[in-house]
Amino acid sequence: MSAGHSTLTTLGAGPAKSAAPPAALPTAAASVAAVLATVALTATAAASVSRVLPGSGPTVAAGAVVVAAAVLTLLRPALRAVRSARRAATAWSEQRRTDARRAASEAREDAWTALGWCLAALVLLGAVWFLCTNDRAVQRTFFDGQVIGISLKETASAFGTNLFIAVVAQVLILAWGLALALARMAPGRAGRPLRLLATTYIDGFRAVPAIIIIYLIGFGLPLAEVPFLSSLSPVWFAILALTLTYGAYVAEVFRAGIESVPPGQTAAARSLGLSQSATLRHVVLPQATRRVVPPLLNDFISLQKDTALVNVIGTIDAFNQSKIFASNHFNLSAVTVVAGLFILITIPQARLVDRLVAREQRRGKGA
């Protein structure tokens, strides 16, 4: 420590010299090249598509023109990027540092915008190519309009079974998951056996694949000849199996939610004379449930898709129904229908989860 300097501050050698901005010209040039290459690829793809689809030349050409025109609009930001990059270089050589950095930053943003949209166009072209390659093998097998038309009605009505299983299971899972979570958090020495049981259950059912639980319940329960339970229909076996499996996941979601409520909330409620159960009911659970809705919905989306697993015990759900069509027509387009149905119900829920998470974050900021 040299004399005269305070012990708390270090005096530097003046402001740092600013370095030259990273060169933007290569990126800008690359974006122009990418735009031109994408346009060329669009033309090539259009040519090969019209070869495998004889008689639909005008439609294919129109589509290609639309894509190519859309890509060509990217030339504007790409060329602007080149101009900005040049401007940046000039400004730097004239010692106008701020202007140089600003122009270089503009060039980079324009270039990356053009590159990004080129990537999107290339993914689209790739998908078209995949459908048409090998004399439209993929398109014929999975997107045969005729087979889709024939199978649509019955597959969609069999999808009702998937929805029924999902809805009933979700209701049961909420109750079972909460019960498991509370058991896992049972307090004190007396709560230990309960905690142990719940922990073992949760670990076990999260470890075993859902399809095996469905198999074991579907084929095991009838053999066991348990009164009432063994005489249930396969649909109810499926509901039971999925409830047992997903109850374990949801228990952990609930537990995380309950533990995320600050301990001060419990202390305040107890200090007011509320009993442990009243505190849980009126103070802890209302706050916990709000926080667990997004992860809970995620688990439910996953559960809805797993209803397709029940075909292993002979339940006629949408997937099983589509497999019947598949073997009758030697064509998998009916399976595509099932995929479409799942997409139809799942994507809105996924968007809903996003909105709920965003809302929860706004609330978290104390807005």
| Residue ranges binding another protein (CB under 8 A) | 262, 264-265, 267-275, 278, 282-283, 286-287, 290, 366
What is the nearest approach in angstroms of another protein to the Cβ of residue 101? 40
What is the nearest approach in angstroms of another protein to the Cβ of residue 273? 4
What is the nearest approach in angstroms of another protein to the Cβ of residue 196? 23
CB-based burial label for 365 (10 Å; 0-12, 13-18, 19+): exposed
Q: Decide whether 76 or 282 has the Cβ nearer to another protein.
A: 282
What is the nearest approach in angstroms of another protein to the Cβ of residue 280? 12
What is the nearest approach in angstroms of another protein to the Cβ of residue 287? 6
What is the nearest approach in angstroms of another protein to the Cβ of residue 222? 46
What is the nearest approach in angstroms of another protein to the Cβ of residue 252? 23
Q: Decide whether 269 or 334 has the Cβ nearer to another protein.
A: 269
SS3 of the chain: the string is: CCCCCCCCCCCCCCCCCCCCCCCCHHHHHHHHHHHHHHHHHHHHHHHHHHHHCCCCHHHHHHHHHHHHHHHHCCHHHHHHHHHHHHHHHHHHHCCCHHHHHHHHHHHHHHHHHHHHHHHHHHHHHHHHHHHHHHHHHHHHHHCCHHHHHHHHHHHHHHHHHHHHHHHHHHHHHHHHHHHHHHHHCCCCCCCHHHHHHHHHHHHHHHHCCHHHHHHHHHHHHHHHCCCCHHHCCHHHHHHHHHHHHHHHHHHHHHHHHHHCCCHHHHHHHHHCCCCHHHHHHHHHHHHHHHHHHHHHHHHHHHHHHHHHHHHHHCCCCHHHHHHHHHHHHCCCHHHHHHHHHHHHHHHHHHHHHHHHHHHHHHHHCCC
Q: Decide whether 138 or 293 has the Cβ nearer to another protein.
A: 293
What is the nearest approach in angstroms of another protein to the Cβ of residue 365? 10
- Assess contact for 322 and 151: CB atoms under 8 A: yes
Q: Decide whether 289 or 346 has the Cβ nearer to another protein.
A: 289
Distances (CA, A) of 347 to 5, 170, 298, 335: 63, 18, 11, 18
Q: Decide whether 262 or 348 has the Cβ nearer to another protein.
A: 262
Q: Decide whether 54 or 273 has the Cβ nearer to another protein.
A: 273
Q: Decide whether 149 or 262 has the Cβ nearer to another protein.
A: 262
Q: Decide whether 40 or 272 has the Cβ nearer to another protein.
A: 272
